[in-house]
Structure 1
């Protein structure tokens, strides 16, 4: 309690210097420095919420001084300190209304707005990613998704960064069970990788773009096997994707297929045919061969596909 009273006393003393007095202008710059010093002291004393409040006060001072970079920096510090307080509550399993998390989100959003107003989209995107990563770590993929999406929009001029952020959006959608939404994102990523990653029209994507395109292709096929859209409801681009893995396919070498190794392409072809014929035994055998080629997320999707086909098979048997 003494520490709280000590903080409140110092906070009020600094704030009083900002009050307008007759024939005397408040020294906003001095108050900003003092709020910053008090924030550092409180941070060293592991009083993160109080330190965050001082950073917010400093941000207001910098706004008054029209110093946007310092305002955004102070807001970011406040956001990180509120987040630290939230982590501490979560680790101690303290019941709360997540007020520290709400305050952190508000500070991050305000700082993002300041950077956007200053025509600094890359810095704004970095903050969106910081917040999204924190929310994902707090087991809130639904909330994280929107901030990853915003980061991707701000990173449009940096295609690889944009694709990475979109990949995080898709991962969040998979986590919350929105497989159709994830399929849409991976399709968008595939188009973007082809459009921005090739040096010539219709050419093969280069470097990291090729790896991303190959991963998108695998994810799209797995999601299509999981969703099992009917011929009447499947979108043309998704039907075209599955045609590439048909035994009767006469399509010439495709730029997407070129981004997969021959072994992976043949295994994927076998996977599609096994799913279409509902051959769960072959799928289980293929799972062993595909395991080393897949990411943990892709192996999770394959596990869901096999489970779904197994349950469908059981229901058919009993009916």
Structure 2
């Protein structure tokens, strides 16, 4: 923000706060102050100054808190969080480093403030946690995003939505090189849910095979479903729990045999990017 714009923002922000503090013989007009903060935020947005817009929305949120309007407070904290995130992404796009992560920390803090205003197991809480995670992924803070993703899943109750996001969590864990946790999550997903859509089931089962070959868990620690999966591949058994084409089944079988014999893993097709990366890891490990 130019010096003039900065001075203008500072002056307007301080003027609104001064009005709130001047009580005299009556209570301050909270509604008026809220509207003025919002107007200032919109002005900053139009001036492409998201960080200042974020501060103005925080001012509006605090006014709503004073008025006892929890939902309004949450709404403006979320608006502030989105502006702070926009400011952080703007810095990243310009390749400016932000070691103290001022805008990012402000955004997360505002999201978490909003989170406290909604009841547990609320879809709005889940939505906020997922939004934080998605922003962190966009900013390449994937390991940090995992925790928020896991919290969101704890509050998620709708089965189909949870299955989709569990698949996404497995992929995120693979991206973060958290292979053991990814395998445990995939195992739990298969053992906890029936009626998983065929495309998701095929992807997760294939990832389970590759993760198991990479992690090499102790035999006693493998769930029965994982043992059965390997048995069905090695014995060419048809099963609804592994709905992949014959060609990929044979290639996975060949992969398992080559690794058992100490040979180089064969090339596999029909894999996602993450699964192909796991095969590359196997090549390096062997």
State the TM-score, normalizing by the size of structure 2. Answer: 0.90
**Alignment partner, residue 152 of structure 2:** 151
**Alignment partner, residue 243 of structure 1:** 231
**Alignment partner, residue 161 of structure 2:** 161
**Alignment partner, residue 215 of structure 1:** 203
Superposed, 1:45-60 pairs within 5 Å as 45-60=47-62
Out of 245, 251, 255, the residue aligned to residue 267 of structure 1 is 251
Cα deviation code 1:223-279 (max 9, x no counterpart): 0111223446655543333222223x7x7x54312x323333333223222222223
**Alignment partner, residue 312 of structure 1:** none
Contact 1:14 1:35 in 2 (8 A): yes
1:87 shift after superposition: 1.3
Between the aligned partners of 1:140 and 1:168, the Cα distance in structure 2 is 16
Contact 2:191 2:225 in 1 (8 A): no
**Alignment partner, residue 26 of structure 1:** 28
Contact 1:151 1:165 in 2 (8 A): no
Cα deviation code 1:95-120 (max 9, x no counterpart): 32111101111111122222336x6x
Q: Structure 1 stretches of 5 or more lacking a match?
A: 198-204, 310-319
**Alignment partner, residue 256 of structure 1:** 241
**Alignment partner, residue 140 of structure 2:** 139
Does 1:302 find its partner at 2:279?
Answer: yes
* Worse-matched range after superposition: 64-73 or 145-154: 64-73
**Alignment partner, residue 313 of structure 1:** none
Contact 1:56 1:74 in 2 (8 A): yes
Misfit runs of 4+, over 6 Å: none
Between the aligned partners of 1:149 and 1:268, the Cα distance in structure 2 is 30
**Alignment partner, residue 277 of structure 1:** 261
Superposed, 1:63-212 pairs within 5 Å as 63-96=65-98, 97-116=100-119, 121-155=122-156, 157-194=157-194, 197=195, 205=196, 209-212=197-200
Contact 1:151 1:162 in 2 (8 A): no
Contact 2:202 2:244 in 1 (8 A): yes
1:78 shift after superposition: 0.6
State the TM-score, normalizing by the size of structure 1. Answer: 0.81
Between the aligned partners of 1:184 and 1:296, the Cα distance in structure 2 is 20
Q: Structure 2 stretches of 5 or more lacking a match?
A: none
What is the total number of aligned residue pairs between the two structures?
283
User: Helix, strand or coil for the counterpart of 1:114?
Assistant: coil
